[in-house]
């Protein structure tokens, strides 16, 4: 009986470890599916409307953004599994070499679109500034995390990579904050104040990231 309890405890712990990447993947699926739909429509041809004219007229940046974000969010989720990271360090390093350029592609293409795309009316105001702030923040976090890894400061490396991933996953959280804001402000109010739930999604993710980083440091 004792042996059974002893052997089942590690098994339960291993199953719990998988809940972390699974939850991150589920949150990533919201923007991943939306991005795949956008790229598919561009590939097969789509009627040009005021909402999609910028993507149809200049598709490369949005394709780079969707591909980079998809790979970064889905593959990056497995970097947060402690067992995989501990038992397969080579896989962790190889995945990291893929994730950094994919993350930079996501962040930099997002900044490019913010600067050069003709945005719809509800995307002006505070939202472009927020996209610049968090896009630059994600780029800086990736580069600082890479620099920390090269000098073998793995504590700083983990912290910066957690922050970068939190910003990248903002689109998933924003789908939830947008729904909540829609319920509060109504359709017309939510459209005119779109920046509020968008910024809230990034802020929530970064707050959780900082909590995780500090919890790891204290433990």
Identify the pLDDT of residue 11: 65
Host domain of residue 160? 2-218
Identify the pLDDT of residue 218: 72
Identify the pLDDT of residue 217: 74
Identify the pLDDT of residue 1: 47
74 close to 34: Cβ distance less than 8 angstroms: no
Which DSSP category does 26 fall into?
H
Identify the pLDDT of residue 191: 67
Please report the sign of the dihedral spanned by the C-alpha atoms of residue 190, residue 193, residue 195, residue 201: negative
Identify the pLDDT of residue 34: 92
Q: How many domains does the chain have?
A: 1
* Positions in the chain short of pLDDT 70: 1-14, 188-192, 219
Is 72 in a helix, a strand, or coil?
helix
Q: Give the tens place of pLDDT for each residue, 43-97.
A: 888 778 877 788 888 999 999 999 999 999 999 999 988 777 777 778 888 999 9
Identify the pLDDT of residue 9: 56
Identify the pLDDT of residue 5: 47
């Amino acid at each position: 009986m004792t042996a059974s309890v002893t052997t089942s405890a590690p098994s339960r712990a291993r199953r719990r470890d998988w809940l972390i990447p699974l939850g991150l993947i589920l949150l990533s699926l919201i923007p991943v599916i939306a991005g795949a739909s956008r790229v598919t429509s561009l590939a097969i041809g789509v009627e040009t409307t005021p909402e999609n004219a910028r993507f149809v007229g200049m598709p490369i940046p949005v394709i780079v953004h969707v591909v980079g974000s998809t790979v970064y969010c889905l593959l990056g989720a497995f970097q947060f599994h402690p067992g995989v990271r501990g038992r397969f360090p080579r896989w962790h390093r190889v995945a990291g070499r893929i994730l950094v350029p994919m993350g930079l592609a996501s962040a930099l293409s997002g900044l490019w679109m913010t600067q050069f795309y003709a945005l719809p009316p509800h995307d002006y105001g505070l939202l472009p500034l927020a996209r610049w702030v968090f896009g630059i923040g994600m780029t800086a976090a990736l580069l600082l995390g890479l620099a920390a890894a090269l000098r073998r400061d793995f504590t700083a490396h983990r912290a910066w990579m957690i922050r970068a991933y939190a910003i990248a996953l903002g689109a998933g959280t924003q789908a939830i904050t947008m729904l909540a804001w829609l319920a509060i402000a109504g359709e017309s109010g939510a459209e005119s104040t779109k920046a509020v739930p968008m910024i809230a999604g990034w802020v929530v993710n970064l707050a959780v990231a900082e909590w995780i980083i500090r919890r790891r440091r204290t433990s």
